[in-house]
Amino acid sequence: MIDLSEVIEKIKDVISTNKENKIFDKDVANILGIPQTTFATMKKRNSVPYKELLEFCATKKISANWLFFDQAVDMLKAETDKFFQIRYFADIRASAGGGAEVFGEDYEVLNVDKTIVQNMVGFGNTKLEAIHVDGESMEPTLSDGSIVFIDREQTNINKDGIFIASTTAGLFIKRIRQRADGMIELISDNKAYSPEVLTPDEVSIVGKVVGNIESL
C-alpha cells in the first residue's frame, strides 16, 4: 500500500533547493495544484492523488516508481509484467485549435505500476502514449496544457470519444464524425469553435484519448 506521507517527504526532497530551506506540506500542495485543506484531508486519509503525482513526475523527469514504491529503474526489468510503459512525448502538443507537431522518436518512457494507471485512466491497455493539449477549443473537457493518454489501437471513430487525428496541418485533438457524404468533421467541445471539415484522405486517426491529467 502506498503511504502518502512517505511520498510527500520524497517530493519535499525533490523541490528543496538546499537543506536550509524548510519545505512544508502546503508547499507540496501548491506545486501539485491541490488546495491545502483538501491536501491535508488526503494525507490524513491516505488518499493518493495519482493524477497530480504522475504529472509531477513527468514535469520533474523523475521515476514514478521511485516516488510511489522506492523502486529503481533497474528493478523493473525483472518484473515488467507488473508495469505499464507509457511513451511520454513531452515536446508534442495535439492542437485543440490549430496545427501542431507530429510524432517523432524524441520521447521518455514512464514505467508506471498497473494499479496507478488503472486508477488514473481506468483502462487495461499496456501501450499508452502521452502528449500535451495545446489550445482551448476542447474546454471544458480538456484544458490547455493538460496531458492526455492515447491508445493507438483504438481508431474506430464510429465509437464515441475524443481522438488524436493527424492531418496535413498537424495533430488535432477532437471529437470526430464521418458525415453521410463521406467528409470528416473535427468537432470541438468549446461551442465557440466551428467544426473543421476535411476529406477522408486528409485525416489519419492516431488513436483514442483514454484519460487525462490537468497541467500544473
Mind listing the pLDDT tens digit for each residue in 154-169? 899 988 899 999 888 8
Above 70 in pLDDT, residue 120? no
Question: Is residue 56 situated within a structural domain?
Answer: no
**Which CATH number is 160's domain given?**
2.10.109.10
> Cα–chain-centroid distance for residue 157?
21
Confidence of residue 78 (pLDDT cuts 50, 70, 90): very low
Whether 12 is covered by a domain: the verdict is no
Q: CA of 140: how far to CAs of 94, 136, 191, 198, 200, in Å?
A: 16, 8, 10, 24, 28
pLDDT band at 36 (very low <50, low <70, confident <90, very high): very high
Q: Answer whether residue 40 is part of any domain.
A: no
The more confident residue out of 174 and 19 is 174
Cell numbers placing 196: 473543421
- The confidence score (pLDDT) of residue 126 equals 54
Instruction: Print the domain residue range for 125.
Output: 71-213
Work out how many domains the chain is built from and give that number: 1
Residue 198's nearest CA partner among 163, 168, 161, 160 is: 168
- 18: pLDDT strictly greater than 60: yes
d(CA 100, CA 92): 8
The answer to whether residue 37 is domain-embedded is no
Burial class (CB in 10 A: 0-12, 13-18, 19+), 100: buried
pLDDT average, residue stretch 52-76: 73
Q: Does the model's pTM come out above 0.85? A: no
What percent of the chain stands above pLDDT 90?
33
Does 38 map to a domain? no
Asked whether 129 and 89 are in contact (CB, 8 A), the reply is yes
Residue 16 covered by a domain: no
